[in-house]
Amino acid sequence: MEESSKLALVQEEKWLTQYEPQIQRRFDRYQEAIREIEDFSGNIIEYASVHNFFGIHFEAWRKGWVYREWAPAAKQLYFFGDFNGWNRSSHPMKKSGRGDWEIFLPYEQYKDHFIHGSKVKVHVVTEKNALDRIPAYIRRVIQDETTYDVAGQLWFAEEFKWSDQSFSTKKSLEQPLIYECHVGMAQEKMGVGTYQEFEAFTLPRIKAAGYNTIQLMAVMEHPYYGSFGYHVSNFFAPTSRFGTPEELKSLVNKAHQMGIAVVMDIVHSHAIKNVNEGLNEFDGSQHQYFHPGERGYHEAWDSKVFDYSKREVQQFLLSNIRYWLEEFHFDGFRFDGVTSIMYLHHGLFMDFDSVDLYFDHNVDEDAILYLQLANTLIHTLKPENISIAEDMSGMPGLARPIAEGGIGFDFRMAMGVPDFWIKTLKHKQDEEWDMFELWHQLTNRPQAERSIGYAESHDQALVGDQTLAFRLMKEQMYFSMSVLQQNLAVDRGVALHKLIRLITLTLGGEGYLNFIGNEFGHPDWVDFPRAGNDWSYMHARRQWSLVDDPLLRYGHLDAWDKAIIKLANEYMLLALAPAVQLYLDPDKKILAYERGGLIFVFSFHPTESILGLPVHVPVAGKYKILLDSDEKEYGGFQRLDQKIVYPTDKKQRLELYVPNRTAVVLKME
């Protein structure tokens, strides 16, 4: 193949040259799939419209409701619920030759019984049993507080009036500053937070903090609250435990009014194995939505694995994407478990230490194709929609356009960065921190792919792990965070927490993510109510009173986070070229670099302050301190004079005083 005809991924990444046939084959297969979709449906948007066919809909032209379900292996389906006194046999459904089942309910006959808020199920008779199931495309699911029975709920609410027509995700696409959050645990009360409470109390905090994007977790219905929303049962139903669909829409609408994009944490990597609530063995077979046998079971997650090769499964998942974007005005998705999607081994016990692993027989090429189709749909519906991949394998081209040989995501999560911080804090004394390793870990990423850098997400905050703040300060967080007392462990923790967050923000990617509460060093891990903690909400909430108390040092960390996010916003730092290293001293633990015309100087030394540090800068002139982590408002010791002007010398160097455990940002006057 001539050089000019090669895909850009292969042309620019010479280390992939020997894998050109596999990469080209992926692209060719994608093009063939698009042609087949166009022949079958006209375009990918129509292909992703089966949610408007299946499920429960009012058809005005027929003057009644129709319910359709895809269940090819089932022997018989019966629709039942409040509308027929829960009679499992009075309303049989008719089967088509394609494996679709249908029943029609005339309006005049059912208008007083088939009503908003009433409950429904479908009774599925199979070769081996007969079970009551939840319709696969149901829009709302509720659980009886007394019997704990789960049922679908008819939801015929008035159409929500949106006022976000002028909202644009331009800033989020250029420089996503993401606030990862969970509605249920976003309040301080001992209980489950609601969409309304989040809109009223949490959104204003996020706006004040300067983040331009929120990433909402646990949106799709999930029976077990403690799964963090990752064991999904009903893919088209926003979880009812937080409120109504209209209240979720109001939350998104309000965020847009505030100029904040809303990205949904979407789970297409697996599904709950429950038969009472989920899709598993819906028509009695193992192979309807999922792979049969061992391949269809995710051992580590105790869940079911989708068969991405089946047209009906593709349409189910793609329609799910379209539904959330159009019905709830989400601005895109963070795809969970992309590593698990792409590989037959799901990335379990893999180091990915060989390029061969990205292209060998363990790669699920059907899953790769699905991800390409998903990204095509997302950006066809609206080009400025955002897609983010959570992948720890390092799949080449994951966040490159499909036309270049990639998979089409806009961003990839820089999952190695939080791992680096955890390993450093767990296994190294402060004196052992390696500045060369730090620089390498924070900058070593594909230059043609945009990454979301982060020091910690929800993964690092879960029970059994520790947040960065807790690793740094341990139990002292509970006793020694008063501004009226001095504590060496807290002084160290506060200083390093600030440095870690600023250097991760400015070095770690083209976007940045923070998990709710971590910006002010929330002291506790996250642990949802479960038998092991006596069903307590103690650790499934956010203690905003800590950061609001002027006598506690949490406010110092919060002020610092606001300052660095403001810095990124004002200078659009993450949208600019990567940082250029200016100075590195492994013994003094000093690292300096330039990004966006600003000079960043970090001292990670535990005890030694440096006087007259010579830092060569790209442009000669006079420089002043723009931001200083040692200021008192950030919990520092005020060792630097903000009024001092630093002129460059004849060698174009700045001579700086850099206190230990301090970060300084300078700008030329």
Any idea which residues carry the catalytic annotation? 336, 390
* Cα separations in angstroms, 595 against 36, 505, 574: 46, 11, 9
Task: Give the DSSP per-residue string, 480-530.
Answer: S-BTTS--HHHHHHHHHHHHHHHHHHHHS-SEEEEETTGGGT--S-B--S-
Q: How far is residue 329's CA from residue 271's CA, in Å, rounded to a whole number?
A: 24
CB 263 within 8 A of CB 386: yes
Residue type, 87: N
- DSSP strands (E only) in 71-157: 76-81, 94-95, 100-106, 119-125, 130-133, 141-143, 150-153
What does the radius of gyration of the chain's CA atoms come to, in whole angstroms?
27
DSSP symbol at 198: I
Residue type, 201: F
CB 581 within 8 A of CB 575: no
Other Cβ atoms less than 10 A from the Cβ of 383: the count is: 9
Burial (0-12, 13-18, 19+ Cβ within 10 Å), 426: exposed
Tokens, residue 16: 């992939």
Q: How far is residue 125's CA from residue 532's CA, in Å, rounded to a whole number?
A: 38
CB 102 within 8 A of CB 55: no
DSSP symbol at 392: S
Q: How far is residue 29's CA from residue 601's CA, in Å, rounded to a whole number?
A: 48
Q: How far is residue 349's CA from residue 451's CA, in Å, rounded to a whole number?
A: 24
CB 304 within 8 A of CB 337: no
Q: How far is residue 83's CA from residue 90's CA, in Å, rounded to a whole number?
A: 11
CB 409 within 8 A of CB 375: yes
CB 370 within 8 A of CB 34: no
Q: How far is residue 81's CA from residue 517's CA, in Å, rounded to a whole number?
A: 43
Q: How far is residue 377's CA from residue 44's CA, in Å, rounded to a whole number?
A: 6
- With CA atoms as reference, report the closest residue to 561 among 634, 492, 628, 490: 634
- Say whether 215 sits in a helix, a strand or coil: strand
Q: How far is residue 209's CA from residue 562's CA, in Å, rounded to a whole number?
A: 5
Bridge partners of residue 614, in order along the sequence: 655
